[in-house]
Amino acid sequence: MGILFRPFLCLMLFTSASAFATDFTALYQKVDPAVVVIHTMEGATKVKDAEPSGIGSGVIISKQGDILTAAHVVSRADIVVVELGDHRKIRARVMSSMVPADLALIRLQELPKQLPVATLGDSDKVKTGEEVMVIGAPYGLEHTLTTGHVSGRRLQETDFALEPIDFLQTDAAINQGNSGGPMFNMRGEVIGVVSHILSESGGSQGMGFAVTSKTVRNLMLEQPPLWFGVDIYVVADELARALNVPQDMGFLVQNVALESIGDHLGLRAGHVPVSFGDDPVLLGGDVVLAVGPVQVRNSPTLLRDIRDYYDGLAPGQPIQMTVLRAGRVETLATSKQKDPRQR
């Protein structure tokens, strides 16, 4: 009798599971238009001459063309091109970047009509076990939907003694190209920006992380940091002494984006690849010691002090930066242009 009832039991279990499965179709159609693909390029000032260097994702959050993404997607780019849902491609400019939190805010240089905008949700209300969905371009496959649950919440300590960065952990599949894409709750609100995965293979293994929308508001929207167009590596203590840095901490310049503040200052990027522990690093570039009167130091107010110095300068006034270059301390300067954070 047990054998006779097994097919029936399996059918009941299948029917029951199907009945409770979530249909993401309507929600996906509602929010996907605000999701964008971000193409980055290096090596030229014109799109047609540049070499593609990376791909990531982002989400439009304002009618002014502001887009949230991950800092590592755009930090080394000379050119950023945003591909909208209708496949139009528009150049964008980096407005702000917070590398320790892996967050960046970019802005479209041209405003298309009827720009779709996503809504930021309240990540403090998110509970472990909630269903979520992620939309991005894993391996370049645009507007791919993956779903899963919130697996937990994690705090990560950062450089500069900033407050720990709040991450949502998820089992939704996340792969290369998803970086910077939005994590949505079941109301279609953005509750996180995809940052990274923990993986031994390089592919998704159910350990993805997204920076919470609360962190986005605190770091990028309420008091947005300034982007100097420079990719840095923090050197401190013993490493600083090994590089003959005349203070306890400095910013070792890795890359400098074309036409950025760092480029106008004449900062020199590194070019000699080495490894510090597990970190690949480029030596040979400048070490930033101070920005204006603000010395590079391990302080919870460091980035805010740098932004306040810059904001206190009027257009045309000199921006100054002190660097260690080839063993000598030098001062670089350039005139402040119109604030790139203002349209």
Q: What is the per-residue pLDDT across 146-193, written as a single tens digit (0 to 9) for each?
A: 999 999 999 887 665 466 789 999 999 888 888 999 999 999 999 999
At residue 202 the predicted structure's pLDDT band, cuts being 50, 70 and 90, is very low
Domains in the chain with CATH codes: 28-108 (2.40.10.10), 119-221 (2.40.10.10), 230-335 (2.30.42.10)
Residue 106's nearest CA partner among 85, 133, 136, 75 is 75
The average pLDDT across 43-67 equals 79
At residue 139 the predicted structure's pLDDT band, cuts being 50, 70 and 90, is confident
pLDDT score recorded for residue 52: 65
Q: How far apart are CA 148 and CA 197, in angstroms?
A: 14
Residue 11 neighbours by CB under 8 Å, 6+ apart:
none
pLDDT score recorded for residue 340: 54
Residue 2 has pLDDT above 50, yes or no: no
Q: How far apart are CA 28 and CA 87, in angstroms?
A: 18
User: What's the chain's Rg over C-alpha atoms?
Assistant: 22
pLDDT score recorded for residue 321: 98
Q: Looking at 78, 102, 171, 286, which residue is catalytic?
A: 102
Q: What is the per-residue pLDDT across 112-137, written as a single tens digit (0 to 9) for each?
A: 988 999 999 999 999 999 999 999 98
To the query of whether residue 102 is one of the catalytic residues in this protein, the response is: yes
Helix boundaries (H) for the chain: 2-19, 25-31, 71-74, 213-216, 237-242, 261-265, 302-311
Pairing outcome for strands 189-197 and 119-120: parallel
The answer to whether residues 176 and 138 touch, using CB atoms and an 8 Å cutoff, is yes
Q: Which has more pLDDT, 53 or 29?
A: 29
Q: Looking at 57, 123, 151, 179, which residue is catalytic?
A: 179
The answer to whether residues 44 and 35 touch, using CB atoms and an 8 Å cutoff, is no
The answer to whether residues 91 and 79 touch, using CB atoms and an 8 Å cutoff, is yes
Q: How far apart are CA 191 and CA 185, in angstroms?
A: 6
Q: Looking at 72, 171, 213, 260, which residue is catalytic?
A: 72
To the query of whether residue 179 is one of the catalytic residues in this protein, the response is: yes
In three-state secondary structure terms, 227 is coil
The average pLDDT across 87-97 equals 90
How confident is the prediction for the chain on average, in pLDDT?
A: 85
